[in-house]
């Protein structure tokens, strides 16, 4: 649990004599000073990496944290250029592994809020009963375990950008509260009677079609329209023409520089890179290059995914699944997790409860599978959703 800083909103709520204007002034001054150094350092580092990548791989263009020279990526760069100079809310739609967070970070880095923080929140990985407190903060004693007041992500992102990933995984009840905060620009910490004026830009993302999500009752229609003031699409790798080879060369160059080696792709490996559809997108390609790099002496070979021996599929009948004898333990675990998720209709919270694991564990596993499911990175140790039956 974070401590209460002097002058923080949590501390200021204990100062009844302070006027609201004075609190707002202190809050803005404190937020700008606290966030500028770290944000500027991150932006400078990202710009340095982009310029280096462009110089190391001939023909590969870069824009902020994004790389690609295909027409569809150049169009995306142009859209980002237009929206970044505004404070409009944006909704990024794209498959798993397409780099939606990188798109959001690039918008932030090129906006007037670049000196403020960029806070990324995976809405689907936060337990439903805690998401309101995580977003808006809470008062001491407002719920079990709230031993002290705590600021939420809206406050942590003050003066900057709040990126809400997997926003369609948020319950409809909390979508209403998010919509209210977006419409009014104000929010109220859990257990507080004080309304706080926010100063944050919202960028949201989902790997689902928003229109379909509305029909499936996973996303409120009014929230969709409020988020999609400026919709953006992160294109899948299969639509990015020759970007596949250029990105593979970039990943290999970076690995060579880190390891002090001079490994190169074989002709067969480059053919695989060009011809495979890469359903896991950039994430799958990067992992494939990394695995091949580890195994290679001098020449990097990437086996065509369709030619790699596959584990027998399990037999599913209703709510029962039969796994073949001899199936590697890791593969059996993967089959059970994905089978349970499918049986639960894609509801990750229900799947986690059915499996007897924490939501954090489920997201970590899905994230490691890449192409099959999951669009969330592993959570840090700050998630207190403990689980006695972790999947080791």
pLDDT, one tens digit per residue, over 77-111 is 999 999 999 999 999 999 999 999 999 999 999 99
Q: Are residues 192 and 79 in the same domain?
A: yes
Q: Are residues 147 and 250 in the same domain?
A: no
Q: Are residues 319 and 366 in the same domain?
A: yes
- In-domain check, residue 3: no
Of 168, 109, 72, 225, the residue nearest 376 (C-alpha): 168
pLDDT, one tens digit per residue, over 171-220 is 999 999 999 999 999 999 988 888 899 999 999 999 999 999 999 999 99
Q: Are residues 270 and 323 in the same domain?
A: no
Summary mean pLDDT of the chain: 82
User: For residue 7, what pLDDT is reported?
Assistant: 46
Q: Are residues 91 and 73 in the same domain?
A: yes
Contacts of 144 (CB under 8 A, 6+ apart): none
* Contact assessment for residue 323 and residue 312, using Cβ atoms and an 8 Å cutoff: no
pLDDT, one tens digit per residue, over 303-353 is 876 655 556 777 777 778 888 877 778 788 888 999 899 888 888 989 888
Q: Are residues 138 and 73 in the same domain?
A: yes
Q: Are residues 31 and 178 in the same domain?
A: yes
Q: Which segment of 14-18, 244-248, 323-327 scores lowest on mean pLDDT?
A: 14-18
- In-domain check, residue 251: yes
Domain final position from 235, 257, 276: 235
CATH of the domain at 29: 3.40.50.300
Domain region containing 384: 314-392
CATH of the domain at 270: 1.10.8.60
Q: Are residues 229 and 244 in the same domain?
A: no
- In-domain check, residue 351: yes
Q: Are residues 274 and 320 in the same domain?
A: no
CA-to-CA separations, 84 to 2, 107, 119, 210, 297, in angstroms, rounded: 32, 5, 16, 22, 44
């Amino acid at each position: 649990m974070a401590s209460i800083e002097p002058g923080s909103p949590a501390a200021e709520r204990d100062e009844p004599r302070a006027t609201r204007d004075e609190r707002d002034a202190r809050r803005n001054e404190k937020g700008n000073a606290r966030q500028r150094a770290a944000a500027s350092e991150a932006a400078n580092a990202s710009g340095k990496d982009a310029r280096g990548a462009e110089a190391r791989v001939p023909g590969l263009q870069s824009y902020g944290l994004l790389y690609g020279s295909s027409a569809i990526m150049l169009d995306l760069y142009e859209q980002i250029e237009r929206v970044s100079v505004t404070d409009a809310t944006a909704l990024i739609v794209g498959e798993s592994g397409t780099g939606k967070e990188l798109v959001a970070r690039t918008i932030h880095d090129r906006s007037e809020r670049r000196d403020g923080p960029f806070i990324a929140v995976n809405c689907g990985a936060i337990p439903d009963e805690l998401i309101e407190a995580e977003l808006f903060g809470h008062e001491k004693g407002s719920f079990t375990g709230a031993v002290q007041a705590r600021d939420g992500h809206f406050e942590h992102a003050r003066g900057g950008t709040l990126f809400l990933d997997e926003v369609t995984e948020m319950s409809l009840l909390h979508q209403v509260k998010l919509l209210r905060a977006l419409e009014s620009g104000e929010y109220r910490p859990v257990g507080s009677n004080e309304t706080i004026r926010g100063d944050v830009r919202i960028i949201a993302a989902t790997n689902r079609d928003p229109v379909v999500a509305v029909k499936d009752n996973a996303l409120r229609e009014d929230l969709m329209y409020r988020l999609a003031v400026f919709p953006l699409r992160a294109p899948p790798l299969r639509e990015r023409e020759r970007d596949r080879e250029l990105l593979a060369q970039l990943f290999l160059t970076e690995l060579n520089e880190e390891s002090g080696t001079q490994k190169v792709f074989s002709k067969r490996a480059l053919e695989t890179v060009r011809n495979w559809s890469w359903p896991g997108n950039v994430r799958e390609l990067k992992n494939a290059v990394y695995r091949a790099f580890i195994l290679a002496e001098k020449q990097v070979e990437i086996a065509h995914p369709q030619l790699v021996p596959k584990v027998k599929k399990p037999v599913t009948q209703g709510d029962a699944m039969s796994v073949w004898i001899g199936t590697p333990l890791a593969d059996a675990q993967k089959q059970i997790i994905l089978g349970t998720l499918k049986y639960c209709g894609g509801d990750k919270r229900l799947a986690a409860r059915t499996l007897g694991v924490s939501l954090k564990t489920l997201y970590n596993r899905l994230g490691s599978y890449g192409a099959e499911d999951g669009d969330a990175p592993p959570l840090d140790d700050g998630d207190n959703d403990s689980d006695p039956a972790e999947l080791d």
